Amino acid sequence: MRKRKDRKIISVIKANGDTEPFDEDKIRRSLIRSGTAPDMVDTIIGEVGKKVYDNITTKKLYKIVFNELQKRRRPAAGKYHLKNAIMELGPTGFPFESFIASLFRAAGYQVVTGQMVEGHCVKHEVDVIAENGKDLFMMECKFHSSSGTVCDVKTALYVRARFWDIEEKLPAQQGTDVQLFKGWLVTNTRLTTDAEQYGTCSGLSLMSWNFPAGQSLRERIDANGLYPVTCITSLSRDEKEKLLAADVVLCKELAKAPEVLGKIGVSASRAQRITEEAVNICRENMTMHDERKTPKDRIHE
């Protein structure tokens, strides 16, 4: 009997240097999450299969998938680009803080950014403060422009200590309405296992790209439909930076005020295409969530 030849396992090199087997299903899930139609998903995976090779980097693999999707469906490509789009909210990190503020504002919180708060020992600059009359959340935002950069337990220890100092002083500064105070560590990349364990144990709320399950940064963005303008594939890098400088961070903000494109030097014909893409990114998110019957999203602890 003829022996069947085993299919060669293709290795993928991650941003941190580790390797993992090429996983077609992971790409499939990402494409479906971006709103790509099932038949288009199959077509793209077929094309990727022709171009993938052993020891390909995740960056190169992502580019292959993104290019195939962009040729077929720009709004879906914009959503598939989400993780990279968040990393384009730099280099200062201030647009990322504004973006996080938008997530909590959408959940009904009053939000301010970049405030000095008195602690028991010293004053602290707090990136984002969100409150709704009963809950008071103070957040340290750690923005990274590379997916290989993570927040380790030292960062979690430092952030927890800051919020403990603030919490000591809090009763003297706040009225009796505040029933819950929480310090948060928020990052756009990943937390190490030790950081997750320490935060969970010590009472520090955590949010990273993929943690906690059900309330991660990626899931909150999808649930609220608050995609950054850096998702828009029709924009150049320079145009994205000009929009962020003008405090236009969200696709929905651009869709409501497209005239800002003219102010940053975009031609009328291109402005129309860019606005249409922004509108479609927002619209497709609404359609996807209607189909999934997603329960009302609320940021909570």
CA angle 213, 49, 190 (to 5 degrees): 25
Q: Domain segments of the chain: what residues?
A: 11-72, 91-224, 229-292
CA angle 286, 128, 79 (to 5 degrees): 30
Look at residue 34 in the predicted model and tell me its pLDDT. Answer: 87
CA angle 233, 236, 241 (to 5 degrees): 110
In whole angstroms, give the CA distance from residue 223 to residue 226: 8
Burial class (CB in 10 A: 0-12, 13-18, 19+), 130: buried
Question: Which range among 16-20, 66-70, 275-279, 296-300 shows the weakest confidence by mean pLDDT?
Answer: 296-300
This prediction has a pTM of: 0.83
Look at residue 58 in the predicted model and tell me its pLDDT. Answer: 92
b/e string for 43-64 if b means 16 or more Cβ within 10 A?
A: ebbebbeeebeeebebeebbeb
Question: How large is the average pLDDT for residues 253-265?
Answer: 96
A 10 A CB-CB count for 293 gives: 6
Q: List, in order, residues 6 or more apart from 38 with CB less than 8 Å away.
A: 32
Look at residue 208 in the predicted model and tell me its pLDDT. Answer: 98
Look at residue 284 in the predicted model and tell me its pLDDT. Answer: 64
Q: What is the pLDDT of residues 160-191, one digit of tens each?
A: 999 999 999 987 565 556 778 999 999 999 99
Question: How large is the average pLDDT for residues 69-96?
Answer: 90
Q: Do 91-224 and 229-292 have matching folds? A: no
The CATH number assigned to the domain with range 91-224 reads 3.40.1350.10
Q: What percent of the chain has pLDDT over 90?
A: 74
Look at residue 28 in the predicted model and tell me its pLDDT. Answer: 94
CATH architecture of 229-292: Orthogonal Bundle (1.10)
Q: What percent of the chain has pLDDT over 70?
A: 90
